[in-house]
Structure 1
Amino acid sequence: MPEPGPSVVEIDDPADPRLADYRDLRDVQLRRLLEVEHGLFLAEGEKVVRRAVEAGYAPRSFLMAPRWVDGLADVLATTTAPCYVLAETLVEQVTGFHVHRGALASMHRRPLPSVAEVLDGASSVLVLEDVVDHTNVGAIFRSGAALGFDAVLLAPRTADPLYRRAVKVGMGAVFSVPWTRLPEWRDALPALSAAGFTTVALTLADDAVPLEDAVRGLDRVALVLGSEGHGLSRAWQDAADRRAIIPMAAGVDSLNVAAASAVACYVTARR
C-alpha cells in the first residue's frame, strides 16, 4: 500500500465525522434525504468507481480497505479528493454491511440535462414510468447500454438511477447512457411523438400486438415500461402510438420489468 500522503488518510475510528457520506447505507430513506441534500451519490466496487471517474463525475472522497488502494492508485492520482483507508471490519461498521468489492466513492452529482439534450441524435430510447425498485432500474439501464439504446427518460416517481444499489446492479451503465427526468408526466409521450419517435408501450392491453411486429421498420422508437405492480398507467397506454406485448407460453402473462426490458431491448435493437 502506498505511504499515506496528502490524499491517502488512514483512519482507525469508525465514528470519524469525515466518514459521514458512507454511514447507514442500508437505510434507503435516510440515504435519499442525505444524498439529495448534499448533492452526492455513492459508487461501489472498483469497476464502478473507475467508470464514474472516467465518465467525468468529480469525487468528494473515497473509502476502502488497505488491500484495494493499489488497484485504484491510477484513479486516486487524478484527483485531490481524500481517500480514507480503514480496516475491513471498520468499513463494515461505518456502512452497515460487508463491502464485497472493496471500495466506495462519494461523488458529486451533476445537473440533469434537458430532454432535448438527451434525445439529440438518439434513435432508441427507454422511457420508465414509476419503476420504483432500484435494482430494476439498474438492470434496465444495463440492458439498454448492452443492447445499444441511446438514452433513458424517467417519469418523476421512478427510482433514482444514481442510488448505490441501482449503480451497482447496472455496473455503472448510468454513467454511459444519457438520461434525465421528464419534467411533465402527462404530456411526455405526445411530446416524444412530436419529436419524431414512435412510442411503443409494453402492456397486456387487448389490442397489444407482438413486440417484433410493433417495432419492425421503425426509425426512431421509444420503448415505454411501467411500474412493477400495475404496469403502465391507463393515461400512458392510451397516449402511446402503439401497444405491444412479449408473447408468453400458456399460463404466464408477463415478466419482471427488468427481464422484460432485456427482451424488449434485444428485439427492438434488431428491428
Structure 2
Amino acid sequence: MNFLARHRIVLPIVSLAVLLAATFWMQPRAMSYFGVNLLFNLAVPIALATIAQMLIIMVNDIDLSTGAFVSLAACVTATLLNDAPLFGALVLAGLVLAYAVLGAVIHALALPAIVVTLGMSFVWGGLALVLLPSPGGASPGWIRTLMTVKPPLVPMAVVAAILIAAVTHLLVIRSGIGTMLRGVGGNARAVARSGGSVMRLKALAYGLAGLFNVLAGMALVGLTTSADANIALRYTLLSIAGVILGGGEFTGGKVSPTGAVIGALTLTLAASFLSFLRLSPDWQIGAQGAILILVLTARLLFTRRSGPA
C-alpha cells in the first residue's frame, strides 16, 4: 500500500497550503483576521454540502440534486423557518426524511442513483420556485448571529470547518455505524452476509446527507440574509469536486471527511485567488476546473510513483 493511499489527507493539505501561500503573496492584506474571514466566508455551507455528497459517494452512489436541495432548504429557512419556526423546522425534518426514503427506494428497486437524483433535482428546484418565486425572505436572527459570531484568534468559518471535520471524522471513521456505511461502499454483499441491512444503511446514508444539506442551506441563508431558488445550484459540482479533491474515490467506500472539508476550503479559496488575479468571471469556473485537474493529476502521479509497498 503506498503512502498516499494510507494518508489521503496529505495532498489536500499541501494543495490548500500552496494556494493560501499564493493568495497571501498576491494580496498581503489578506493575511489578517478580517482577510482570512473574507477568503473563507462562504466555506461553511460548501463544506457541509461536500460532506453530504461524500456520504452518498461513500455508498457508491452520486447525488446530482445537491445544489437544488440546498437551494430548497435555503428557501424554507428564509421563509417558513423565519415566519413560523416550528412549522419550518417540521418541513426541514420532512425533507431529511424524504432524502432517507429516496435512498431506500433507490436500493430496493436497484435504480441508478445518478438518474434518480438528476430527476429529483427538478422536483427540489420546482418546490423552491413555488415557495420563493423571486429572491427574498430573511434569515432567522439566531442563524445570522451564529454565522457572524467572531471568535478570538481565528474567524468563524475556520472554527466551523474544524468542527465539521472533527464531527464527521468521528461519525464516519471512528464509529461502528460509520464502518458499516463504508462497508456498503466497499462490499455490500459482505455487509448483507454479516446480518446488516444494506437498504437501511443506504437510507441512513441518504438521511445523513439530507441533514448536512439542510444545514448547508441554513448556513448559506445566515451568511447571505436571504435566499432564492437558484442560490446554491453550483454546489452540486463543487461538492463532487471537494470530495475527490479531498482524497475520496467514487467506488469502494474510500473517503476522507477531513479531506473533504479541506477540499471545500480549497475550492472556496480558489475563487478568491482567481478574483485577486482579476480574471473575468466568465473564465473563473474553467480556471477552478484546471486547478482541480492539476491536483488530481498530481495525486495520480504520486500514487503511481509510490507503487505498492
Q: Larger % of helix: which?
A: 2
Give the TM bin, normalised by the shorter chain. under 0.3
- Kindly indicate whether structure 1 or structure 2 has the higher relative contact order, using CA contacts under 8 Å at least 6 residues apart: 2
TM-score, normalisation: structure 1: 0.24
TM-score, normalisation: structure 2: 0.22
Structure 1 or 2, whichever has the larger Rg, is 1
Q: Larger % of strand: which?
A: 1
